[in-house]
Structure 1
Amino acid sequence: MALTVPPPRSPLDGGPALARWYEHELGWATSAGPPVQLVTGLRFDVLELPATAGRRVLRRLGTEVGPVALMGRRMRLLVAAGAAEELPGLLDWLEWGGISLDLAMLGADGRMTAPVPPGWRPTGRSPSGTPGASVWLRAPEPGREVESRLPALRPSRGGADAPCLARLVAAAAAECHRARLLSAARVHRPEPAAGAAAQQRPTAQRFASS
């Protein structure tokens, strides 16, 4: 299910307009900036992971995941409020406990930089218009109960049709571990030995002179 936000009637005129949009259209609490921040732990928590791993999670789970924000090299997946408290036990249950994973949760009293909604035009020197600003990859849709569709551990917290938090965390942990292994392999990839390179040069010269 693609989530889109209709363009507003006026351009983004700084933090106050952005904060009003989130508070009035979605009912989400904000914290004054700059930059404007969304308060987590009330209507939603946030699962944060490297963007490279996050893109693989989105491909694996498709429309089960959303809304999704991107800030620099980090991806932020909105999940049901209270999920941050469940993460350590969930990782243990999934047998990822004690393994170094680049996963983080923003929960009660946390802060997430507010992405500029699609269609908004940053003006002036707003932080939201700078390179690396937070943007929505899958935006929340005003007028719908976003929170009831967020991944939750228990169906009663997000409705019978809510995506499964355990499935999301399992995919995220696997992709973070995969990304970590690939990064380590690139760092420790052996370079050609100096002696071997020297032995190859006469051969190359012989072919060049023939």
Structure 2
Amino acid sequence: MVRSVPPPRRPLDPADTAPAGARPGGPVRGWYENELGWATVPGEPVRLSVGERFDVLEVPAEAGRAALGRGAPGFPVAVHGGTGGTVGTAGEGCRMRLLVAAGSAEELPGILQWLEWGAVPLDLTAIGEGSLMEAPMPPWLVPGCRRHTPVQGAAVWLRPPVAGCEVEASLPTVSAPGGAKDAPDLVRLVDTLAAHCHRVRLGRLAAQPLAFS
């Protein structure tokens, strides 16, 4: 009796595990557009339009982790880049991106001046209107526990946005009449991030070998 060899199984398609509402053929893009209502731009990898629903504050992951450890509320946070490590213990060169209310990028220089950080060199940048951000991998596509998932240079969520909720209501914003009363205060967040960015910079300077002439 001649037995036929079964055909090879096709690799697992991320679309097979896509949640309801994800667009066929593009589960990552569909999750952002359909579940969160965030605009994406054509092309691969999937990129998000910044400045419409949110802005971004970017800092070294070391400074960001320290700031989040001070009890910052649960607004969305992503990490990307680096040379190894995990989401919970990001590798060297890893960056952290904290989502803040749209328009915050324009407010950052003034906030830093008011907090007397304006003259201090800080590795704290704002990404605002007209910019693009690589879309972090949706949590349902990251195998296992996020805390133990290798970063390997890809953007992943440390605190993912919750689909079906008004994400903007959780974003840090400048306190103002008419704003979301439960949103964390942007000024306090910037002050905390600036302090930790400064400490990280001083620590790196202290670790450099002395140059002798």
Report if TM-score (shorter chain) is over 0.5. Answer: yes
- The residue correspondences of 1:166-181 to structure 2 (distance < 5 A) are 166-181=187-202
Pair 1:184–1:163, CA change in 2 (3 A): same
In structure 2, the partner of 1:102 is 123
* Preserved contact between residue 26 and residue 142 of structure 1 (Cα < 8 Å): yes
Counterpart of 1:75, as a letter, is M
Contact 1:65 1:163 (C-alpha < 8 Å) held by counterparts: no
Q: 1:74 to 1:121 in 2, by over 3 A?
A: closer
Contact 2:137 2:155 (C-alpha < 8 Å) held by counterparts: yes
* Equivalenced residues, count: 178
Instruction: Decide which of 26, 49, 59 is 2:69's aligned counterpart.
Output: 59
Q: 1:98 & 1:131 partners in 2: Cα distance?
A: 34
- Cα 1:8/1:14, change in 2 over 3 Å: closer
2:165 is paired with a residue whose SS is coil
Q: Which amino acid aligns with 2:190?
A: V
**TM-score, normalising length from structure 2?**
0.76
Q: Aligned-pair distance for 1:17? A: 2.3
Once the two structures are TM-superposed, the CA of residue 13 in structure 1 deviates from its matched residue by: 10
Is 1:15–1:33's contact at 8 Å kept on the other side of the alignment?
Answer: no
Where does residue 208 of structure 1 map in the other structure? Answer: none
Q: Given residue 96 of structure 2, which amino acid in structure 1 is its aligned partner?
A: M
* Conserved 8 A contact 1:40-1:112: yes
> How is 1:104-183 mapped onto 2 (pairs within 5 angstroms)?
104-120=125-141, 131-156=152-177, 158-183=179-204
Structure 1 residue 110 displacement after superposition: 1.1
In the alignment, the residues of structure 1 paired with residue 15 and residue 171 of structure 2 have an alpha-carbon distance, to the nearest angstrom, of: 25
| Counterpart contact for 2:74–2:170, Cα < 8 Å | no
Partner of 1:46: 56
After superposition, the Cα gap between the structure-2 partners of 1:147 and 1:8, relative to the gap in structure 1 and judged at 3 Å, is: farther
Distance 1:180 1:35 in 2: 32
Distance 1:69 1:98 in 2: 28
Question: Is 2:90 aligned against 1:69?
Answer: no
Long gaps (5+) in structure 1: 1-6, 123-128, 192-210
Counterpart of 2:27, as a letter, is A
Distance 2:23 2:169 in 1: 31
Contact 1:67/1:78 (8 A) holds in 2:
yes
> Structure 1 residues 14, 115: closer, same or farther in 2, change over 3 A?
farther
Superposed displacement of residue 16, structure 1: 2.8
Q: Which residue of the partner structure matches residue 32 of structure 1?
A: 42
- Cα root mean square deviation, aligned: 2.7
CA distance in structure 1 between the aligned counterparts of 2:104 and 2:195, rounded to whole angstroms: 18
Say whether residues 1:10 and 2:17 are aligned partners: yes
Cα-to-partner distance string for 1:46-73 (whole Å, 9 max, x where unaligned)? 00000011100110133x1420000021
Letter in 1 for 2:32: Y
CA contact (8 A) 1:151 1:158 kept: no
* Structure 2, unpaired ranges of 5+: 1-13, 82-93, 144-149
What stretches of structure 1 move > 3 A for 4+ residues in a row?
Answer: 11-15, 155-158, 188-191
**TM-score, structure 1 length as denominator?**
0.77
* Aligned residue among 13, 21, 35 for 2:31: 21
Q: Structure 1 residue 131: deviation in Å?
A: 2.4
The answer to whether the 8 A contact 1:40-1:46 is kept is yes
Q: Which has the higher helix share?
A: 1
